[in-house]
């Protein structure tokens, strides 16, 4: 049974809320941490956001998100790198445990998946020096293969682990059950990730799934064996915060945020 003291609210779960609303709600519900998306941090301003969060005694499991390293030309990739440095600064300003990276898919009009993967490696490599100098760990998040074309071409934990081997210190992984629950040899890859695990994200895979992006399930409503998954994460040595991140355009996003959070807490304590 997961303890509420490890719960972190990924703010996409209550998508309509501002950072201020998220912080107030965390305090109201006794949720000790959050992982905000950059858009709401930027609306508040990163420094003010950091102050607001720390004054309310909240921890920050991550900042969502950097990445999107792929681009059809050098200029676009440079823009992405610049923006990622800004994201590192924002992550520092809010005291995040890591900057989560969603690495990007195929560049426009490209069918060169291997080339995109090389761009990702080079992009992360280019960002790492800066991130290291800021002491901000980068949490590479492998995304489900159904996002290979348009969001992220790192699609297995094995690929992410391989990249960590190659790029070294300062790069770790953010493991979201939604993306990797199907992966062969998952237990071994989680063990291999070990101390590199910077984030652990939970939700559930619904059957049927009606939308590739916005139909994630609440823990317990789908088919992922979350307790077994959590036991593997624990065995790998991770005892940090556990984020709940649910994109749900037709269900949870239409409910009052406080009702959603009550269910999040109950399911977190019983299903994770």
Shortest distance, position 153 Cβ to a copy of itself, whole Å: 8
Query: In the set 209, 231, 254, 270, which binds a copy of itself (CB under 8 A)?
Result: 209
Shortest distance, position 180 Cβ to a copy of itself, whole Å: 9
Query: In the set 1, 27, 79, 223, which binds a copy of itself (CB under 8 A)?
Result: 223
Is residue 165 involved in binding a copy of itself (CB under 8 A)? no
Is residue 113 involved in binding a copy of itself (CB under 8 A)? yes
43 vs 210, which CB is nearer to a copy of itself? 210
40 vs 124, which CB is nearer to a copy of itself? 124
Is residue 205 involved in binding a copy of itself (CB under 8 A)? yes
Query: In the set 225, 234, 239, 266, which binds a copy of itself (CB under 8 A)?
Result: 225
Query: In the set 26, 94, 101, 153, which binds a copy of itself (CB under 8 A)?
Result: 153
User: Of the ranges 1-9, 64-72, 107-115, 245-253, which one interacts with a copy of itself (CB under 8 A)?
Assistant: 107-115
Shortest distance, position 142 Cβ to a copy of itself, whole Å: 10
4 vs 227, which CB is nearer to a copy of itself? 227
Is residue 149 involved in binding a copy of itself (CB under 8 A)? yes
* DSSP secondary structure letters along the chain: ---GGGEEEEGGGGTT--HHHHHHHHHHHT--EEE-BHHHHHHH-HHHHHHHHHHTT-EE--EEEEE----SSHHHHHHHHHHHHHHHHHHHHTT-S-EEEE-B-PPTT---HHHHHHHHHHHHHHHHHHHHHTT--EEE----GGGTTTTBS--SHHHHHHHHHHH-TTEEEEEEHHHHTT-TTHHHHHHHHGGGEEEEEE-B--SS---TTTBPBPTTSSS--HHHHHHHHHHTT--S-EEE---BTTTGGGS-HHHHHHHHHHHHHHH-
Q: In this structure, are residues 70 and 106 in contact, taking their beta carbons and an 8 Å threshold?
A: yes
- Give the footprint of a copy of itself on this chain (CB under 8 A): 106, 110-113, 144-146, 148-150, 153, 155-156, 158-159, 181-184, 205, 207-210, 212, 222-225
């Amino acid at each position: 049974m997961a303890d509420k003291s490890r719960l972190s609210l990924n703010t996409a779960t209550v998508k309509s809320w501002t950072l201020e609303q998220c912080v107030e709600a965390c305090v109201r519900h006794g949720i000790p941490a959050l992982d905000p998306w950059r858009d709401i941090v930027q609306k508040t301003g990163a420094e003010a956001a950091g102050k607001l969060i720390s004054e309310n005694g909240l921890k920050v499991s991550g900042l969502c998100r950097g990445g999107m390293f792929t681009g059809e030309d050098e200029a676009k990739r440079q823009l992405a790198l610049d923006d990622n440095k800004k994201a590192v600064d924002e992550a520092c300003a809010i005291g995040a445990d890591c900057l989560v990276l969603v690495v990007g898919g195929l560049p426009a009009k490209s069918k060169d998946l291997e080339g995109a993967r090389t761009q990702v490696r080079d992009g992360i490599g280019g960002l790492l020096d800066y991130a290291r100098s800021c002491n901000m760990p980068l949490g590479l998040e492998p995304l489900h293969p159904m996002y290979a074309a348009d969001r992220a071409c790192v699609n297995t934990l094995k690929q992410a682990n391989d990249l960590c081997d190659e790029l070294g210190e300062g790069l770790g992984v953010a493991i979201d059950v939604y993306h990797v629950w199907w992966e062969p040899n998952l237990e071994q890859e989680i063990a291999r990730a070990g101390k590199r695990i910077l984030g652990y994200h939970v939700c559930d895979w619904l059957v049927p799934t009606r939308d590739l992006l916005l139909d994630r399930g609440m823990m317990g409503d789908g088919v992922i064996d979350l307790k077994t998954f959590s036991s593997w994460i624990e065995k790998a040595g991770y005892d940090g915060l556990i984020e709940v991140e649910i994109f749900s355009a037709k269900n949870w996003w239409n409910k009052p945020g406080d009702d959603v959070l009550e269910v999040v807490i109950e399911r977190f304590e019983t299903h994770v």
